[in-house]
Structure 1
Amino acid sequence: MKYRTLGKTGLKVSVVGVGTWQFGGEWGRTYEQHEVDAILGKAKEVGINLIDTAECYGDHLSESLIGGYIHNNREDWILATKFGHRFHRNFERTDLYDPKEVIAQLERSLRSLRTDYIDLYQFHSGPDASFDQDELWDTLNEQVKAGKIRHLGISIGSNENIHQTSRATAVNAEAIQVVYNRLDRNPEKEVFPSCVDQNLGVLARVPLASGLLSGKYKPGAKFEANDVRSRRDSEQLDALIREAEGIRSDEVPEGTDMAAWALAWCLKHPAVTSVIPGCKDPAQVEANALAVELVEDGHPQDA
């Protein structure tokens, strides 16, 4: 495994992390504790130390499953979670960015994760009006001083949200999470330059384009109703799959696993600290980790 410094946080994170939206039950299946234990155990084995989750991956369900594993080895992990939504049922949430409610969410996350601190607490894809609450950030920074949060971050909803990105330093946020992959390069225009200027860490989510850059899917692919991908427009999905097929034939070296190539592609950008792909089982964790073999040294954030 390789490690990079997450911007001005100083945290040393593995360049491949574990994204855990799937543990909340919206990616076609549910998970039991022993399955999560096996996934995170494999992650630990291959040197991954970064876990990203959220309050609304289930009603703190993903966090609870993670907490069931990490409470015995908490010091081995960099734990990132988020705030701003209340889960009601699959694909249904309400926004909750009131400062008092956010503190209640923080306490629920701490209990679910079975920890007394969160390494990176992220504003979760909220609108600018919610972001622009001075009281919210004052309240969160009080929790930083209290030690319940080590660092603040922003998970931007639109990968072109330069408003929130550009104000990160002003609100004491030290990392940006953003959708970035070979099929979606929009952050390169404004978001990444702003991150570099501010020395912000960058977590690239959806680095495999929801699995489309794994090379496993063909046009016409169908997903179960409990899989978030089933909610996407079928014509747009087919167009992206065809684009991915072109990338595979034109850009991926022969004999190279496409998923590993796609993760390494993201990690080549000088702004990107780490990728946080989802994984359904230990084998996928191991496959994702192999991307480091394609990552060259000399990145600005190398630890």
Structure 2
Amino acid sequence: MNYRKLGKTGFEVSEISLGTWQVGGKWGSGFDANLADRIINEAIDLGINFIDTADVYEAGASEAAVGKVIRSRKEKIYIATKCGRQINPHIAERYTTKALRKFVEDSLKNTGLDCLDLIQLHCPPTEVYYNPEIFELFDRLKDEGKIKNLGISVEKVEEALKGIEYPNVSTVQIIFNMFRQRPAELFFEQAKKRNVGVIVRVPLASGLLTGKFSKETRFGKDDHRFFNREGNAFDKGETFSGVPFELGLNAVEDLKALFPDYQNLAPIALKWILSFQEVGCIIPGASKQEHLHSNLEALKIPELSIEQLKAIDAIYQNQIKQHVHHHW
């Protein structure tokens, strides 16, 4: 495993870490606590030391699973969780210091921990980033010993740029992959300037960039890749990174032609992200233990050549950019 410093947190975190949206079960298929336990323990055995969860993942069951494993291990494992998405309706006016304080305290109970390494605002409405009172709350929670760091999880580059104006924002979690390249422009530059750690989520575009899907692929009715393609449940950019599915399939075919020796493109997709030194870590998910090994293959393959990087960029520029770049 390779490790990178995660901005001003000072944490040395595994380049390939673990996201737990679907740990212990595929999207929409229920939660298996025993499977989650096996996946998280194996991740740590493989050198992963940073695990991202959220209070809304399986109604706190994901946090509990992560906390249980962390408490049982001797290694130092960093836990990052998120708060705010329980607010319903999910509007800026409902983001109050009282509500957020309770979410943090509930996460402490769920995980069984005395202090959270990193708490992140979970993709709040854009207006929240213009409310200093919300960000000041986390200074108080830090003084109280309940959190070590504050981060933000964002949908839009503009939200990331506004959020890092607050000195206590240590990290930004953002969608970045071969089909969502805009963060590599101004945001990466500003994050580096302010020593803000960058956590990359949705690195495989909801599995699209593995190259395993086809026009015949069908998703379960409870899977967001079935019901959220147009953003009916939450931001459409979370599903296939906002790329229309069939258009994405066509672009993936060009990627396959570029890397004919790889039946599974996931390691290539992750390697591409790691070519950006501003990235602190990537948090691909895993609904089975095999996914962990697939993700870590990215650390074993050669660096992508300049020619390959140019070809990937051409695919983005010619096929994908017009559909996603200006939206997020």
Fold in common (TM above 0.5) = yes
Q: What's the counterpart of residue 266 of structure 2?
A: 259
**Whole-angstrom CA distance in 1 between matches of 2:297 and 2:145:** 35
The TM-score normalised by the length of structure 2 is 0.82
**Whole-angstrom CA distance in 2 between matches of 1:105 and 1:167:** 20
Q: Which range is displaced more, 49-58 or 22-31?
A: 22-31
- 3-state SS in 2 of match to 1:177: strand
**Whole-angstrom CA distance in 2 between matches of 1:23 and 1:247:** 28
Q: What's the counterpart of residue 56 of structure 1?
A: 56
- 3-state SS in 1 of match to 2:214: coil
Return the offset for 1:25.
6.3
**Cα-to-partner distance string for 1:201-229 (whole Å, 9 max, x where unaligned):** 10110001100111110124221011111
Q: What's the counterpart of residue 117 of structure 1?
A: 115
Q: What's the counterpart of residue 233 of structure 2?
A: none
Q: Which range is displaced more, 21-30 or 6-15?
A: 21-30
Identify the match of residue 284 of structure 2 among 269, 277, 280.
277
More strand per residue: 1
- 3-state SS in 2 of match to 1:182: coil
Q: Is 2:24–2:33's contact at 8 Å kept on the other side of the alignment? A: no
Distance verdict in 2 for CA 1:25–1:36, change over 3 Å: closer
Distance verdict in 2 for CA 1:221–1:63, change over 3 Å: same
Q: Is 1:25–1:226's contact at 8 Å kept on the other side of the alignment? A: no
Distance verdict in 2 for CA 1:295–1:70, change over 3 Å: farther
**Cα-to-partner distance string for 1:68-110 (whole Å, 9 max, x where unaligned):** 322222752111111111178xxxx735421110000001111
Q: What's the counterpart of residue 145 of structure 1?
A: 143
Q: Is 1:268–1:295's contact at 8 Å kept on the other side of the alignment? A: no
Report the AA paired with residue 105 of structure 2.
E
Q: What's the counterpart of residue 181 of structure 1?
A: 177
The unaligned stretches of length 5 or more in structure 2 are 231-239, 304-328
The TM-score normalised by the length of structure 1 is 0.88
Aligned pairs, how many? 289
- 3-state SS in 2 of match to 1:294: coil
Runs of 4+ in 1 over 6 A off after TM superposition: none
- 3-state SS in 1 of match to 2:4: strand
Identity of aligned residues (%): 33
Q: Is 1:26–1:226's contact at 8 Å kept on the other side of the alignment? A: no
- 3-state SS in 2 of match to 1:100: helix
Return the offset for 1:237.
0.9
**Cα-to-partner distance string for 1:126-171 (whole Å, 9 max, x where unaligned):** 122112222211111111122211111111122x22x442441424
**Whole-angstrom CA distance in 1 between matches of 2:29 and 2:160:** 33
Q: What's the counterpart of residue 16 of structure 2?
A: 16
**Whole-angstrom CA distance in 1 between matches of 2:250 and 2:22:** 25
2:94 paired with 1:94: no
**Whole-angstrom CA distance in 2 between matches of 1:94 and 1:82:** 15
